Amino acid sequence: MIKMLLSGAAGRMGKAIAEAAANYPDIKITHKVDVAQGFENIEEITGGDVDVAVDLSSREGFKKAILWACENKTPLVVGTTGLTEEDHAAIDTAAKEIPVLQASNLSRGVNIMFEILRAAAEFTHDADIEIVEMHHNKKKDAPSGTALEMGKIISEIQSERGLSGRDGRSGMVGARKSNEIGYHAIRCGDVVGEHTAIFGFAGERIEISHKSGSRSVLAEGALSAARFIVGKTPGRYSMRDVVTAGKE
């Protein structure tokens, strides 16, 4: 039985994870943490009955969760987005003491899409690259963490181009530069998440897309990540490790 602490339990993703975990006999959420009324304060919890902590909260919630995980030597899954360079540095430091799995998107399909993007980027070094993402109207950060990860993957493979990000376009911006990745964020309704990478050439284009129809796919991914990280040695892990585990 894997005993889990859930940080951000009052949020959309927290509720989806709790609902999904109820269907698995090998996972039990022993603590639900949130700033909302009726939930626990992470600073008052001891780590004796926790095998893994999962954080899908806010930047402030993340800072408390990673401090708690380090103090209690507990593996941590980080799915919170909108983190700063300081936060990423904190993850690097924590990973020296505990296993930390950070994911911009916990969906299995999204992480398979990342692998497809890696392959596509090998053959598109002269393409115009645009990334379009759509989310619900309550999402606070833009572009999404997933969109930024898509750009990072392409930029690393096409490193000789020195690709840089550009957030949308407005006004007389001039001709498009060949070494930029355009990011376009759409916020409307209750869209869970849609992402498309466009590789444009003269006369044709390639589009690679993923669409999430339900938060349940993200919840299932979070639980898979929690299972994966328990028992691992200290270090940084990703959903790529989860997706490719057992490939050979």
Residue 135 annotated among the catalytic residues of the structure = yes
3, 139, 152, 232: which is the annotated catalytic residue? 139
Sign for the CA dihedral angle at 108, 182, 193, 11 comes to: positive
31, 32, 64, 135: which is the annotated catalytic residue? 135
Residue 184 annotated among the catalytic residues of the structure = no
* Positions marked catalytic: 135, 139
